[in-house]
Amino acid sequence: MSERHIFLLDAIQPVEMQQMRGGKGSALWRTAVGEANATPGSPFAKVGVNILLPGSSVGMHKHVGDAEVYVIISGSGMYSCRDANGVSRQIRVKAGDVTVCYDGEEHGLENDGTEPLMMSGVIG
């Protein structure tokens, strides 16, 4: 097994991002797999860990030609989604919850709590 199989969180330099996908506030994003190191033919275009600070959000955005999974690691927030038929809903998510946004759908996530929200995002 090579180093391209294991990514230690503390070894990945965080990048502060403002208004992610048109959202509010700031987030710390650590990219394990991205454009610079994605394996050709892999189903994973991007894999990372994101920390949304209180009051921050990932804005609603549409997936075209891919899908995205969020795994909530710690904290809680409000997940918004809109399916390909235009049906919208919001649901509170917390540590251990998993969300899936399929091709042609939209989603976003807001940390409306007082603690940081840590989540993993996988795009494929």
The fraction of the chain above a pLDDT of 90, given in percent, is: 72
Banded model confidence at residue 40, pLDDT cuts 50, 70, 90: confident
Strand partners, 43: none
Q: Which of 123, 87, 85, 112 is nearest to 99 (CA)?
A: 123
Q: Which of 66, 70, 83 is nearest to 110 (CA)?
A: 70
* Helices H / strands E in the chain, number of each: 0, 10
Distance of alpha carbon 48 from alpha carbon 42, whole angstroms:
15
Q: Could you count the other beta carbons within 10 Å of the beta carbon of residue 3?
A: 9
The pTM of the full predicted model, rounded to 2 decimals, is 0.89
Banded model confidence at residue 116, pLDDT cuts 50, 70, 90: very high
